[in-house]
Structure 1
Amino acid sequence: MTELESLARSTLLPSFAGDAPPDWLLREVDAGLAGVTLFAINGNMPDSAGLAALTGALRRAGDPLIATDEEGGDVTRLAHLTGSPYPGNAALGAVDDPDLTAGVYRSLGAELAQAGVNLDFAPTVDVNTVPDNPIIGTRAFGGDPALVARHTTAAVRGLQDAGIAACAKHFPGHGATAVDSHHEAPVVDADRELLARRELVPFDAAIAAGCRAVMLGHLIVPAVTGTTPATLSPGAVALLRDELGFTGVIVTDALDMRGASGRIGIPEASVRALIAGADLLCLGPRERRDSLASVIVAIRQAVEAGRLSVDRLAESAERVRELKAWLTRPASSAADPGIGIEAARRAVLTTGEPRLTAPPLVIEANAPANIAVGPVPWGFGRWLPADDVLRVDPDDADAHALATAANGRPVVLVLRDAHRHLAQRALATALRSARPDTIVVELGLPIWRPPDGQYVAAYGATLANTTAVAELLGLTARLS
């Protein structure tokens, strides 16, 4: 292996399938691969003991970064089979207690450390200013830059107190978009002055808090990046390095996303990201042995063609080494098993006096899947017999038939981001017309709500969020 190939490997985070690292990956780790990204959809997240065994095997092969997207809310990898025991950022922002936010992230960090993960692609520090944002939503602390900034500070300190490297994302800010960068690169039409007082405020806070990494988003910000996504933009890196003063590791969002590589392919996107100044390349969940080899070849060819300098690669390799050295610091933090439900309870918003007096019929309205969230279970089925919970497609649901099916029982209608989905709002209006006593529960952002009646908003669909609502309605007492 040449020095150039070694430098290339030191910038790469591929993925793999299964609950044990394959031999090819162990050889790559031994050869100096920067690390890996773990994905639940790849089967990398078995139970806690299995995950610890997996990360232990990787660590015995070398000194890898072991990264994942564990935001602790709707986007969870550790708890992908059950839903997170922690509410997400929207709930924490609604409570607006930075000490609570720090405690939640410290406990989450302790769980990551126990599992052997050392780099968390969190917190999300986007300022969610577009209600129709399809990818951020409950992942953001809110829409006020100052609020997001103070909770960013708390989240970074909490994670890093537990010895986990935090990675603030998605620079320079994904909150003012109505397009999902998994499909195409959104355009944020904001001038430098607006960016400075809105999108960049939480990133300033993250840097001041000592955040070890920042993730570039696949966002076109003409005032900074021209027509190029930030992931591949020297202008975005210069803004982060030269103007905000960030000296840590710059990570790319997954390069398999169409917003980065849809027109040019992952090897070329990897080369352009390195040329722009990124240090660590997250390749994506399906980018494994063959993709890794292709990217290394593309990097070597870019150096040979004079497009990418060895010095640029060496800078990134050194920053990655510094991050790994930081991770050797002693850190001790224990998970707090009660803090998640405490935070979720404090976040619940109610109108009227929503309380059940008899076993209900719970109607859960499906919503289009958020790719970042993935197939994580949600809802109230754990507290009720199967026949008492109906999961419906709101486009096809018949409100009158549902009201009849309740047969006089109380009705609970569960929505997710009703403000983004006309069919959910129409179903809620029609059902409440038929049954004015219907309790409406919102598990997304409470931007739309019925004009009157009983209403509950949880700011998320996690296990913690739904447990808090179930307690409020009396479902948990009924189960016991």
Structure 2
Amino acid sequence: MPMSRDLLRLADSVLLPGFQGRTPPDWLRRRLAEGLAGVVLFSRNIESWSQVAELTAALRAENPAVLVGTDEETGEVTRFEVAGGSTRPGPYALGVVDDVELTEALAADLGRDLAAAGITIDFAPSADVNSNPDNPVIGLRSFGAESELVARHTRAFVRGLQSARVAACAKHFPGHGDTSVDSHHGVPVVGGDIEQALRPFAAAIDEGVRAVMTGHLLVPSHDPSAPATLSHKVLTGLLRDELGFEGMIITDGIEMAAVSGAYGIGGASARAIAAGADAICVGGEHSDEATAVGVRDAIANAVADGLLPEERLADAARRVTELGAWAAGTGVPGAGPGGSGDTPVVDGPPVSRATGC
């Protein structure tokens, strides 16, 4: 069944795909001009701060409100400093020192560098309370194992990053810390009461965080039938209604097995929007035009088939557009840290996982 151009454009307006190369391919330029929401940059897209500034300027020429996201958590998860590792201490080290002014200053400094390179949303901080020593994916990415510690440093990081007008994104809601399975490969289960896990997210929301990233986690206490990313009870009932979050909800990499395994990338994307997500992050290893088109078409078909209310899709698109408009106030991207833009960032083995966020 042919889709209307307006419906396809609406579906495009909630997608942030990845792509190959250090300059925008023709398909990406064309799709941005036609309404694609934005992109996610991985280490494969990054050579230097100045190169990223040129890349993002080219993207912005096609869509002035484009969202450009990346995972720059500091510490072991970095996209800009893959070759030698991050020059900034990571969350765990900041938690050990437990100086919230230092955390805020570090995040503000990071935000200035990212803004200069044209990044508009940083998928950080990790608001996960790393309370399970067998956790295979969070570890040093967390500020610590105690919820109040994580909450106060999450607040500080959000405050610092957004002082540079780069949107912070607290992740992985409702908390990936108390798990023993990596959602890249399976479905982690969060057992028992999640009150402690929620405290850092509540703190981030109170601080005005602009975005929250979902975790591909099964939370039986709230919904035993679907991972959080695909759960209306978790995203709408808990995050929106109970915690009062009004910003943009973005998925973790939708190609990850915990959600795509059962429904495919397109099916998982449509279900995530129906559950309450506003933006779809896709593009780890799936970073070509065919994947982006497939996800767009799956979302549009879900509307046509009555599985996804068009009003829900329109509401998601509105929240993405509002964040893009906020981020567009950052001004013209500069050259990079220190103003020179000449610091090389050589691609190499990623410090952390190459897919997902």
The TM-score with structure 1 as length reference comes to 0.68
Tell me, in whole angstroms, the C-alpha distance in 2 between the residues paired with 1:89 and 1:160: 17
Q: Which residue of 1 aligns with 2:47?
A: 46
User: 2:204 is aligned with what amino acid?
Assistant: A
Give secondary structure in 2 for the equivalent of 1:223: coil
2:342 alignment counterpart: none
Aligned counterparts of 1:53 and 1:281: Cα–Cα separation in 2: 25
- By how many angstroms is 1:373 displaced? 4.1
Q: CA deviation at 1:84?
A: 0.6
Q: How far 1:297 moved relative to its partner?
A: 1.5
Amino acid across the alignment from 1:240: L
Letter in 2 for 1:72: T
* 1:226 aligned partner, one-letter code: P
> How far did residue 51 of structure 1 move?
1.1
CA distance in 2, matches of 1:73, 1:372: 10
Letter in 2 for 1:264: Y
Counterpart residue number, 2:185? 183
Deviations 1:156-186 (A, max 9, x none): 0010001100000000000001111100110
SS of the residue corresponding to residue 125 of structure 1 reads coil
Q: Is the 8 A contact 1:215 1:253 kept in 2?
A: yes
Equivalent residue number for residue 458 of structure 1: none
Give, as a single letter, the amino acid of the residue that structure 2 aligns with 1:22: P
Q: Answer yes or no: is the 8 Å Cα contact 1:16–1:286 preserved in 2.
A: no
Maintained 8 Å contact 1:162/1:331: no
> Which of the numbers 123, 137, 150 marks the counterpart of 1:135?
137
- Counterpart for residue 325 of structure 2: 325
**Structure 1 residue aligned with 2:127:** 125
Report deviation, 1:310. 1.0
Asked whether the equivalents of residues 18 and 44 of structure 1 are also in contact (C-alpha less than 8 Å), the reply is yes
Q: Deviations over 1:287-312 (max 9, x none)?
A: 32001111122112111111111101
Counterpart residue type for residue 280 of structure 2 = L
State the one-letter code of the partner of 2:265.
I
TM-aligned CA deviation for residue 370 of structure 1:
9.1
Amino acid at match of 2:217: L
Match of 2:344 in 1: none
Deviates more, 1:293-302 or 1:112-121: 293-302
For structure 1, which runs of at least 5 residues remain unmatched after alignment?
A: 338-368, 376-480
* Contact 2:116-2:337 within 8 A present in 1 as well: no
- 1:151 aligns with 153
Give secondary structure in 2 for the equivalent of 1:160. helix
Shift of 1:82: 1.7
* Counterpart Cα distance in 1 of 2:296 and 2:318: 18
CA deviations on 1:81-114 (whole Å, 9 max, x unpaired) are: 2211101100000000000000111111111111
**Greater mean deviation of Cα atoms: 20-29 or 256-265:** 256-265
Contact residue 74 and residue 373 of structure 1 kept, 8 A: no
Q: Deviations over 1:99-142 (max 9, x none)?
A: 00001111111111111111110000100001111100000000
Superposition misfits of 4+ residues, deviation over 6 angstroms = 334-337
The one-letter amino acid paired with 2:69 is A
Task: Tell me, in whole angstroms, the C-alpha distance in 1 between the residues paired with 2:122 and 2:305.
Answer: 35
Show the counterpart of 1:252.
251
Question: Which residue in the other structure is 1:366 paired with?
Answer: none
Structure 1 CA distance for aligned equivalents of residues 293 and 68 of structure 2:
19
RMSD between superposed Cα atoms in Å? 2.0
Contact 1:58 1:64 (C-alpha < 8 Å) held by counterparts: yes
Q: Distance in 2 between matches of 1:23 and 1:331?
A: 25
Q: 2: CA distance between counterparts of 1:218 and 1:56?
A: 32
In structure 2, runs of 5+ residues without a counterpart are 339-348
Assess if the C-alpha contact under 8 Å between 1:213 and 1:248 holds in 2.
yes
Q: 2:191 corresponds to which letter in structure 1?
A: D
> Hey, what's the Cα distance between the residues in 2 that align with 1:180 and 1:370?
17
1:101 aligns with 2:106: no
The residue type paired with residue 267 of structure 2 is E
- Which residue identity does 1:229 align to in structure 2? P
Give yes or no for contact 1:135–1:370 (8 Å, CA) kept in 2. Answer: no
Identity of aligned residues (%): 50
Measure, in 2, the Cα distance between the counterparts of 1:372 and 1:314.
Answer: 35
SS at match of 1:59: helix
Question: Of 4, 28, 32, which aligns to 1:29?
Answer: 32
2:115/2:330 contact within 8 Å kept: no
Give the TM-score normalised by structure 2: 0.91
SS of the equivalent of 2:39 reads strand
Name the counterpart of 1:243: 242
Corresponding letter in the other structure for 2:327: L
State the 1:263 CA deviation: 2.2
Choose the corresponding residue for 2:76, options 61, 74, 77. Answer: 74
Matches within 5 A, 1:133-282: 133-190=135-192, 194-196=193-195, 198-237=196-235, 238-282=237-281
Q: How many residues in Structure 1 have an aligned counterpart in Structure 2?
A: 338
2:296 equivalent to 1:314 = no
Cα distance in 2, alignment partners of residues 263 and 121 from structure 1? 25
**Cα separation, partners in 2 of 1:67 and 1:243, compared to 1, 3 Å:** same
| Bigger relative contact order (CA 8 A; separation at least 6) | 2
Letter in 2 for 1:118: T
Q: Measured at CA, do residues 336 and 266 of structure 1 come closer, stay the same or move farther in structure 2, by a change above 3 Å?
A: closer
Q: Which residue of 2 aligns with 1:11?
A: 14
CA distance in 1, matches of 2:337, 2:304: 52
Query: Distance in 2 between the 1:270 and 1:92 partners?
Result: 35
> In 2, distance between residues paired with 1:263 and 1:306?
20
2:42/2:354 contact within 8 Å kept: no
Q: Once structures 1 and 2 are overlaid, which stretch shifts more, 48-57 or 121-130? A: 48-57
CA distance in 2, matches of 1:24, 1:39: 18
Offset, 1:326: 1.5
Cα separation, 1, equivalents of 2:61 and 2:285: 24
Within a 5 Å distance, the mapping from 1:277-356 to structure 2 comes to: 277-287=276-286, 288-329=288-329
Structure number with greater Rg is 1
